[in-house]
Amino acid sequence: MNNPNVCENCLPIKNYFLADTGTCGLCGKKGECFDAELIAFYRSSGIDDEEFIWLKLPRLRGFSSRIHSSSGQDTILSWAEIEKIISQAEN
- Say what the pLDDT of residue 69 is: 47
Query: Would you give the distance in Å from CA 58 to the centre of its chain?
Result: 5
Are 30 and 22 spatial neighbours (Cβ–Cβ below 8 Å)?
Answer: yes
Which of 72, 19, 55, 50 lies closest to 4, judged by CA? Answer: 19
Query: Each residue of 31-55: pLDDT tens digit?
Result: 999 999 999 999 999 999 999 999 9
Between CA 60 and CA 81 the distance in angstroms is 13
pLDDT at 1: 60
Instruction: Tell me what pLDDT residue 75 has.
Output: 73
pLDDT in the model for residue 90: 92
All residues at 6 or more sequence positions from 57 whose CB lies less than 8 Å from its CB, including other chains: 42, 47, 82, 85, 86, 89
| Residue 63 confidence (pLDDT) | 80
Report residue 17's pLDDT band, with 50, 70 and 90 as the boundaries: confident
Backbone angles phi, psi at 26, to 5 degrees: -95, -50
pLDDT tens profile 53-87: 999 999 999 887 665 445 555 678 889 999 999 99
Confidence of residue 91 (pLDDT cuts 50, 70, 90): confident
